[in-house]
Amino acid sequence: MNNYKALKTAAKVALALKDEVLTITRKQYDIDTGEELDDAVMNTSVSMQNSHIDAELKQIEAETIALATKKESLELMKKDINALK
């Protein structure tokens, strides 16, 4: 879930567990008017949600490594270009 931390801080998302069913309830608003809509409710299992989160974290870690590698490469190229002066 995007922006979970901000949503939780603003009390716009709630988690509940009952009989091995994880319920995620999130506030929704009309994009044009800002009017509050019915809450979005998703029922899932803890293991399924954790698997989804683990997959997202793995993807983010791979993207982070790729960006760090690209950053190092660009910094080295800049250093080499500046050394030519």
At 19-37, the pLDDT tens digits run 999 999 999 999 999 999 9
Q: How far apart are CA 28 and CA 63, in angstroms?
A: 30
Q: How far apart are CA 63 and CA 58, in angstroms?
A: 9
Q: How far apart are CA 13 and CA 81, in angstroms?
A: 50
Half-sphere exposure of 22 toward its Cβ, with a 13 Å CA cutoff?
10
At 36-71, the pLDDT tens digits run 999 999 999 999 999 999 999 999 999 999 999 999
For residues 1-27, average pLDDT: 94
